[in-house]
Amino acid sequence: MIGQVIFNSLTLGLIYALIASGFTLVFGVTHIINFAHGELYMVGAMMMYVFYAAIGMPFLIALVLSASISTIIGIILERFIIRRIRGGEALRVLALTIGAQLIIMTGVLILFGPMDKAVPSVITGLIRVSNITMPVERIIVVMASIIIMFGLFSFLKFTKKGQAMRAIASDPEASALQGINVNSMYTLSMGIGCLLAGAAGALMAPILPVNPFVGPHATIYAVLVVCVAGLGNVPGAIVGGLMLGLVENLSCSLLGGGYSEVISYGFVLVLLIFRPEGLFAKKQT
């Protein structure tokens, strides 16, 4: 039983972790809270429907294409809209991202209609280990998430661009003085963040509902995870996502599905009472 819960939490938690790390990465580098982040998740899922279900491309290609489209939309968002107010009051930027969220959501609504889209499973079938039932599909999601996460981690730690992004997250001015092109890094981080969200959406398309309205839900979960983990902290976001996935799944099994959001929210609230900055918040220098 416990094993089953752990497995289910793993799927959910990793997806939360994916979405949240994209969100927190964007914030860490650009200091923008992107309310439209969830929309990129939604776009990834929708595109998966288009490429995989409607057109019938192979799974992997559909996945890559969907994530790419999310990335492109994110980059357009950053270059043309957000950049104009960069450095402005946080409220104005948030309002801008809310406007973007509304536009993206309505755009998808107009193009695809409000009904749920069905995306078929990649592989059906179950694997049973002791008394844990593991749908093969979810195993794939777990593996894909881990690979992506690993890629993100290595990128941030080992590549020049990744290190540049971490530098900017710490101190934009010093980074600029060192010759880092802050502008292009902003765009890059936004692109990567949106890529993560889009990939999460695409991966979960066969499993979770796909309709134009799932965006804010994803954004809310990203925020909850970041509240738990602390802003700007990518490894923290991963751990936080897993924690939240665990909490939600546990409450789901014990109390039934209707209250799962309430429990997650309550959990975060309680955590905030004791650690308002989040569990793994960066130390303020």
Partner 1 sequence: MKIKGFEKSGWFIIPVLFFIPVFIQDGYYLGLAINCFIYIILTLTFMLMMQIGLLSLGQCAFYGMGAYSCTLLVIKAKLPYWIALPLGALITMAIATLIFIPIIRTKGLFFAIMTLCLSAIVAQIAGTWESFLGGHTGIVGIPKPSPVGPIDFSSRVHYYFFCLSLMLITIIVISRLVKSNFGITSRLIRENELLARHVGINPFKYKLMSVSIASFFAGLTGGFYAPYSKYIHPEVSSIWDSLYVQIYGITGGLGYPIGGAIVGTVVLKILPEMMRVVQMYQPMFFGVILILVVLFLPNGLMELPKVFAQRWFKSRIK
Which residues sit at the interface with partner 1, rule CB under 8 A?
Answer: 33, 35, 81, 84-85, 90-92, 94-96, 98-103, 105-107, 109-110, 216-217, 219-220, 223-224, 226-227, 231, 258-259, 261-262, 265, 269-270, 272-273, 276-277
Cβ closest to partner 1, residue 198 vs residue 232: 232
In the complex, least distance from residue 256 CB atom to partner 1, rounded to whole angstroms: 9
Cβ closest to partner 1, residue 166 vs residue 217: 217
Cβ closest to partner 1, residue 162 vs residue 278: 278
**Residues 59 and 51 sit within 8 Å (Cβ to Cβ):** no
In the complex, least distance from residue 207 CB atom to partner 1, rounded to whole angstroms: 21
Cβ closest to partner 1, residue 64 vs residue 261: 261
Cβ closest to partner 1, residue 38 vs residue 206: 38
Cβ closest to partner 1, residue 104 vs residue 119: 104
In angstroms, the CA 40 to CA 193 distance is: 9
Assign residue 251 a region (left: φ > 0; alpha: ψ between -120 and 50; beta: otherwise): alpha
In the complex, least distance from residue 40 CB atom to partner 1, rounded to whole angstroms: 15
Q: CA quadruple 104, 106, 107, 109: dihedral positive or negative?
A: positive
Q: Which stretches of the chain are DSSP H helices?
A: 2-30, 37-48, 59-76, 90-112, 136-158, 160-170, 172-177, 182-204, 215-229, 234-255, 260-274
At 100, phi and psi to the nearest 5?
Answer: -60, -40
In the complex, least distance from residue 220 CB atom to partner 1, rounded to whole angstroms: 5
In the complex, least distance from residue 259 CB atom to partner 1, rounded to whole angstroms: 6
Would you state the structure tokens that stand for residue 82, as one six-digit string? Answer: 């957000």
**Residues 281 and 230 sit within 8 Å (Cβ to Cβ):** yes
Cβ closest to partner 1, residue 58 vs residue 257: 257
- CB neighbours (10 Å) of residue 1? 8
In angstroms, the CA 86 to CA 202 distance is: 30
CA distances from 166 to 90, 98, 157, 172 (A): 21, 26, 9, 10
In the complex, least distance from residue 81 CB atom to partner 1, rounded to whole angstroms: 7
In the complex, least distance from residue 35 CB atom to partner 1, rounded to whole angstroms: 8
Interhelix angle for 59-76 vs 182-204, to 10°? 140
Cβ closest to partner 1, residue 109 vs residue 147: 109
In the complex, least distance from residue 283 CB atom to partner 1, rounded to whole angstroms: 15
